[in-house]
Amino acid sequence: MNRIIAFAAFLAFAGFVGILIIAVPSPDLIGVALLTVALVIWDLVTSSNRKD
């Protein structure tokens, strides 16, 4: 259940970042946004493997 909620939160976050990238197509913003999404994916993958 926690993985489903985390994945839904990731989709909402990625959607927001995607809209931001489309609305403000600055190369610096795109780089920072992609780095941020990559870090969120990394956190999602490493945190979802824990057995609590």
User: Residue 13: inside a domain, yes or no?
Assistant: no
Both tokens of 37, joined, read: 């999404």
User: Residue 24: inside a domain, yes or no?
Assistant: yes
User: Residue 43: inside a domain, yes or no?
Assistant: yes
User: Residue 32: inside a domain, yes or no?
Assistant: yes
pLDDT interval class at 52 (50, 70, 90): low
State pTM to two decimals. Answer: 0.78
User: Residue 35: inside a domain, yes or no?
Assistant: yes
Both tokens of 13, joined, read: 């976050």
DSSP the chain: -HHHHHHHHHHHHHHHHHHHHHHS--HHHHHHHHHHHHHHHHHHHHHHT---
How many folded domains does the chain comprise? 1
- For the chain, the distance separating the N- and C-terminal CA atoms, rounded to the nearest angstrom, is 13
User: Residue 15: inside a domain, yes or no?
Assistant: no
Residue-wise pLDDT tens digits, 10-40: 999 999 999 999 999 899 999 999 999 999 9
User: Residue 3: inside a domain, yes or no?
Assistant: no
- Residue numbers of the domain that contains 28: 20-52
User: Residue 46: inside a domain, yes or no?
Assistant: yes
